[in-house]
Amino acid sequence: MSTIKYILSLTFLNLLLFHVPFYSYVLEHIEVGTADGLLSLFVVMVALFVVNIFLLSLLALISTKVLKGFTLFMLFSAPIALYFMSTYNTILDRTMMGNLFNTNTSEALSYYHPKMFIYLFIGLLLAYIVFKIPIKKSKRVKLLKFGLGITVMGIVILYINSSKWLWLDKHAKNLGARAMPWSYVINSIRYKLRELKEHKKQILLPTATFANPKEKIVVILVIGESARAKSFSLYGYERETNPRLKKEDIVVLKNTKATATYTTASVHSMLSYVGSSSDSYEPLPNYLQRQGVEVIWRTKNWGEPHLNVETYQRASDLEVSCKGDECNYDSVLLTGLMKRIKASKKKKVFVVLHTSGSHGPSYFEKYPKKFELFKPVCKTVNIKECSQEELNNAYDNTIVYTDYFLATIIEKLKKEQGLNSLMIYLSDHGESLGEYGLYLHGTPYSIAPDVQKKVPFLFWASNSFKEKRNLKNIDFEHQKEHGDYNIFHSVMGAFEMNSTIYDNKLDIFSY
């Protein structure tokens, strides 16, 4: 088979087998059956065809081996991508690829479902068949004429139908994130280039001083995972998902939005003094460590920036000394925590507990059996197979367990009478449970629904902390909005740190 025939054959095969989500999106956003709708469909198909021909021709100009190697990769990976897009309505933009690159083995295994092997088998079979097809090298001049000819023809057609440019521009992001395999290939490159740019040497922040250096203060920051405010009874949810926290003297901060819909960007924003996912400046834990604060980072998650702290412990490290049924869940992060805090010789202690929380799709595996308050529950990672009731029940049980986890921390801190202590809880992002046909999280922020953006943000403070900060006179109800950007400066405020970078307008305790 000649190189040109190979390119044409693979293009048609790609458009036929791997673009169902692409076509579905187009058909949902045009007036099907009308002349205008058909014209929009025609223009989109021409654009998709030309892009495939152009890019495959570029690879062929490098060498036929590069072309064949890429198409084998495409035939193997596209069915897997199609599985996730069809099952969870994921969109493979740069954000989602970042989410993928920051997924560890345990999370990847949580998506396992027998149906995935069907897609995997199809990919392997197609790759094997194409691998056996010999390619006759075509002259580069001929390839260049072919690629340019198709491209020019496509540009002419698009120019003639310029009335559809506005429609294409409006939907370009969604269409591009569904075009196989270019969506995940190009967006992976975009993500890695951005990551390389941001991972330059971090800028150190100005030195800080403490208003009361001899006063013992403990601040615990709990980073939640995939918890949405809509499913917290503290935020008005009709189900009682916060039975323990409602009995505590906590402050619930309204109108909180995450800055991103995936963990890495959100966590980086929480720990950034500029309140964004940029890694240009040293993150909060590193900064505090440098100022003499003892920093303890415990995690059952991932996605944090590069840390330079005294104590970094993964859940697997803590499981060795953990006893009981809860050692496989977030409670493992509390193993010997108070003993560790009390043993610290530092006057200022900052603890971060990065939880696994409510990460899907295997919600039923995120809590011990005794917290299965709502039944029946969805017990498959292919959550589309479950009823809405089963899905909601499984997810809500994760929130009940989070409620217990936070209440346990409060109980431990309350036992240390006279200790100035504070616990802050903020989720990294929310979660979709089928609203608008979306599941999980990671939808591009500009089009993500509120359930992926609006998150719970609350805190508990000891009596001594409240009295010293005069918190009873702060009207938290009238604070208009909150976000990740509050964390850095609020923690600084909690430790009574003075620095040129401190912004009291972003400190929730100084309103």
Q: Of 173, 170, 186, nearest to 81 (Cα)?
A: 186
Q: Tens-of-pLDDT digits for all 511 residues of the chain?
A: 888 889 999 899 888 888 888 888 888 888 777 887 888 888 888 888 988 898 889 888 888 889 889 889 888 888 888 888 888 777 777 767 776 766 665 665 566 677 788 888 888 888 888 888 888 887 888 888 888 898 898 888 877 876 676 677 677 778 888 888 888 888 888 777 776 765 667 889 999 999 999 999 999 999 999 999 999 999 999 999 999 999 999 999 999 999 999 898 999 999 999 988 777 899 999 999 999 999 999 999 988 988 999 899 999 899 989 988 889 999 999 999 999 999 999 999 999 999 999 998 899 999 999 999 999 999 988 888 899 999 999 999 999 999 999 999 999 999 998 899 999 999 999 999 999 888 888 888 888 899 999 999 999 999 999 988 888 767 777 778 999 999 999 999 999 999 999 999 999 988 6
Burial grade of 98 (CB within 10 A; 0-12, 13-18, 19 or more): buried
Q: Are strands 294-299 and 348-354 parallel, antiparallel or unpaired?
A: parallel
Give me the pLDDT at residue 454, please. 97
Phi-psi region of 435 (alpha: psi -120 to 50; beta: other; left: phi over 0): beta
Q: Of 296, 352, 300, 306, nearest to 326 (Cα)?
A: 300
Quote the CA–CA distance of 433 and 65 in Å, as a whole number.
Answer: 44
Quote the CA–CA distance of 503 and 444 in Å, as a whole number.
Answer: 29
Residue matched to tokens 């990065």 = 354
Quote the CA–CA distance of 377 and 390 in Å, as a whole number.
Answer: 4
Angle at 442 between CA 440 and CA 446, to 5 degrees: 125
Give me the pLDDT at residue 44, please. 86
Residue matched to tokens 């009731």 = 389
The distance in angstroms from the start CA to the end CA of the chain is 72
Say if residue 361 is preceded by a cis peptide, omega within 30 of 0: yes
Long-range contacts of 10-13, Cβ-Cβ distance < 8 Å, separation of 24 or more: 10/56, 10/71, 10/74, 10/130, 11/49, 11/52, 11/53, 11/56, 13/126
Give me the pLDDT at residue 23, please. 86
Q: Where do the domains of the chain lie, and which CATH numbers do they carry?
A: 3-198 (no CATH), 216-229+250-361+401-443+473-506 (3.40.720.10)
Tell me the whole-structure pTM to 2 decimals: 0.75
Give me the pLDDT at residue 376, please. 97
Phi-psi region of 275 (alpha: psi -120 to 50; beta: other; left: phi over 0): left
Q: Of 18, 29, 98, 80, nearest to 52 (Cα)?
A: 18
Quote the CA–CA distance of 43 and 168 in Å, as a whole number.
Answer: 9
Give me the pLDDT at residue 159, please. 77
**Residue 267 near residue 428, CB atoms below 8 Å:** yes
Cα dihedral 329, 334, 336, 337, rounded to 10, equals: 160
Q: Are strands 209-210 and 497-498 parallel, antiparallel or unpaired?
A: antiparallel
Element of type H or E holding 351: strand 348-354
